Amino acid sequence: MKGYETLSLAGLLEENSYPGRGIVLGMTPDGVCSVAVYFIMGRSVNSRNRIFVEEPDGIRTEAFDPAKLSDPSLIIYHPVREAGRGLVVTNGDQTDTICEFLLRGQSFAAALRTREFEPDAPNFTPRISGLLSPDGSYKLSILKANDPEGSNCARQFFEYPGHPGTGHLLHTYVCDGTPIPSFAGEPKRVALPGDIDALTDTVWNSLNPDNKVSLFVRFTNLETRRFEQRLRNKNLEKGAVL
């Protein structure tokens, strides 16, 4: 039935040369682990000059070559942070805003009502955010310009129960362009494998080889809270050239 179709994550990424930054949240087929994925892409030297680095509570972006860093404001941030027993995943410094609100007992939505899209006219890149709860349920949000001038912000929120073998993909751009068109519609329902290395390879190999930059994947056991994670950084691969 249309509307309930589960799509191929690899297919969605392979057919899009520039989805931008993306989040996938979901659950393994056996229902044992929650799944979190975050990837970044880039067209400019500044955007491509990044790697993911592990932190005690998640990961952060870092300039691969500090000499080539021209503007850190929208590219250096903590994409993934633990907040209590939850996991926050975003494409910007709203990660910190969400964590601050959650630790004060306030909501994911309340935090994002204080933020808006990025001030990078004419693209007005959407801020995408996710919250993975300890029971496997999750929330996703996109904040994007409501008109071509960026005069106001549309805020959309989505909530999902965890369902074995499925997740939802939300990314910043429909496709490449000038300006780059913002993601439209609901997050895409996708099938997820039960092996972290298989998922990591699938996402990494499906992203456009010229534009992909870094990838994070985490599986968290819902009962024990133990997790394993993988990082991929194009700039650290043999023969990589900025």
pLDDT in tens, 44-81: 999 999 999 999 999 999 999 999 999 999 999 999 99
pLDDT tens for each residue of 127-170: 999 999 999 999 999 999 999 999 999 999 999 999 999 999 99
Looking at 58-152, which runs of residues are DSSP E strands? Answer: 58-63, 80-83, 86-90, 127-132, 138-145
Pairwise CA distance, residues 98 & 110, whole Å = 8
b/e string for 100-129 if b means 16 or more Cβ within 10 A?
ebbeeeeebbebbeebbbbeeeebbbbbbb
Exposure on the CB side of residue 232, measured as CA atoms within 13 A: 23
Name 51's bridge partners.
62
Q: Give the CA angle between residues 131, 53, 225 to the nearest 5°.
A: 45
Q: Kindly state the average pLDDT of the residues 28-55.
A: 97
3-state SS class at 166: strand
Contact criterion met (CB below 8 Å) for 202 and 8: no
- For 174, residues 6+ apart whose C-beta sits below 8 A from its C-beta are 181, 182, 183, 184
Pairwise CA distance, residues 209 & 187, whole Å = 23
Pairwise CA distance, residues 140 & 100, whole Å = 17
Compute the mean pLDDT over every residue in the chain, rounded to the nearest whole number: 96
pLDDT tens for each residue of 92-125: 999 999 999 999 999 999 999 999 999 999 999 9
pTM: 0.96
Pairwise CA distance, residues 43 & 116, whole Å = 23
Both tokens assigned to 201 = 């390879």
Asked if residue 239 has pLDDT above 80, the reply is no
